[in-house]
Amino acid sequence: MEIKVLKDILNANSQIAEQNRKLLTGKRIMAINLMSSPGSGKTTLIMRTVEKLEDKARIAVIEGDVSSSIDAEKLSQAGVTAIQINTGGGCHLDASMVNSALANLPLDDIDILFIENVGNLICPGGFDLGEYVRVVILSTPEGDDKPHKYPLLFSQAHALVVNKTDLLPHVAFDMEAFARVFQGLNQQAALFQVSGVTGEGIEEWAKWVTANLQKLRAQNS
Amino acid sequence: MHEMSVTMSLMDLVLDEAAKAGASKIVGVNIVLGEMTGIIDHYVQANFELLSQNTPAEGAALTFKNIPRQARCRGCAHVFRPTDLAWSCPRCQSLEIEITGGNELYVESIEVE
Ligand SMILES: Nc1nc2c(ncn2[C@@H]2O[C@H](COP(=O)(O)OP(=O)(O)OP(=O)(O)O)[C@@H](O)[C@H]2O)c(=O)[nH]1
Ligand SMILES: [Mg+2]
Ligand SMILES: [Zn+2]
């Protein structure tokens, strides 16, 4: 006998993600799922954002890492509430990992939650974590052809941050060509050019982050 | 890639569906798999054989309907299969395109006894 199912294989993950989303928006926390290749500058961008928004918002971080806790320690030393999830070799965070982490965070004292996903441009794409916005970072040394290679992640992002613009004179990254291709694939996303070293572009990026916080608050007042 | 965690979710899903239908044995699972998920079907197959041991799904045949990536031009509505290198419309060269296929990852049906 054949039984029609027509269910997404990651259905269970999506359901937990929905619980996370309810919990987070209920607490009026704006969560950002931050995705990129290893070393594109996720942790650095979080640090710069914290510095920029220090007086305006309370920021916490969930750090997804394959095994180490270096990033979480770096953030804790900078005074940021950070919690580490070790995926034990896993190539992405999933909603239940984030759910456990949320149980260990002071949710009443957080406005913005960064979730630093595992460095990977394919796997995190299929896993909703319950975030409010998805942000992809691409660093200039990686080249401007990435949207073609990882179309899903790029097409589903709410914002794209091109990081390491300070290296533009030294790398073959054609910003115009990149923007044309990316915006052809994703018409909604905001596009930022930043440098985690010089601080260029962080201001505009931080404005977008706070605008999303305001938007979430307006929707959940 | 994360074929193992995908296969675990797949196992849970099919066992659950079979139990709901009151079936005691799952003999087949029909999966629709999009190219852009990056999931490789034979790894899922191998993981499934391992995970299904001593469950009602042991020995079930997995069938994959592989869906290639597909895009539609927003300019001229032409539907085409983009390659790694070219995501522009082959008819009008526009870069304004929409992904319309290749993202699938679901169970279409199961065959039970
Ligand atoms: N030149 C330059 N280097 C940067 C910039 N941003 C980050 N880096 C450097 O790039 C390296 C990786 O940065 P991280 O912020 O740790 O990157 P990540 O994405 O968190 O890395 P993983 O967590 O390991 O995936 C570090 O050595 C940073 O100092 C930038 O804008 N310009
Ligand atoms: Mg990091
Ligand atoms: Zn066209």
B47 assigned to some structural domain: yes
Q: Number of folded domains in chain B?
A: 1
pLDDT > 90? residue A69: no
B80 assigned to some structural domain: no
Calculate mean pLDDT across residues A77-90. Answer: 85
Q: Number of folded domains in chain A?
A: 1
Atom of ligand 1 nearest to the CA of A164: 31
Can you give the residue range of the structural domain that contains B39? 3-68+102-112
B83 assigned to some structural domain: no
CATH code assigned at B32: 3.30.2320.50
3-state secondary structure of A177: helix
Can you give the residue range of the structural domain that contains A71? 2-213
Express each pLDDT in B29-88 by its tens digit.
999 999 989 899 999 999 999 999 999 999 999 999 999 999 999 999 999 998 766 778
Strand A2-8 to strand B105-112: parallel, antiparallel, or no bridges (unpaired)? antiparallel
Here the ipTM equals 0.90
Low-confidence winner among A146-150, A179-183, A198-202, B75-79 (lowest mean pLDDT): A146-150
CATH code assigned at A116: 3.40.50.300
Contacts of A117 in chain B (CB under 8 A): none
Region of A88 on the Ramachandran plot (φ > 0 left; ψ -120 to 50 alpha; else beta): left
| Tokens standing for residue B25 | 């044995």
Express each pLDDT in A13-24 by its tens digit.
999 999 999 999
CB-based contact A5 B1, cutoff 8 Å: no
A136 assigned to some structural domain: yes
CB-based contact A3 B18, cutoff 8 Å: yes
A219 assigned to some structural domain: no
B90 assigned to some structural domain: no
A134 assigned to some structural domain: yes
Which residues, 6+ apart, have CB-to-CB distance to A190 below 8 Å?
Answer: A158, A159, A160, A208
B22 assigned to some structural domain: yes
Atom of ligand 1 nearest to the CA of A137: 19
3-state secondary structure of A121: coil
Burial call A173-209: b when 16+ CB within 10 Å, e when fewer: beeeebeebbbbbbeebbebbbbbeeeebbeebbebb
Region of B71 on the Ramachandran plot (φ > 0 left; ψ -120 to 50 alpha; else beta): beta
Nearest CA in chain B to A2: B111
Q: Residue B1: which pLDDT band, with cuts at 50, 70 and 90?
A: low
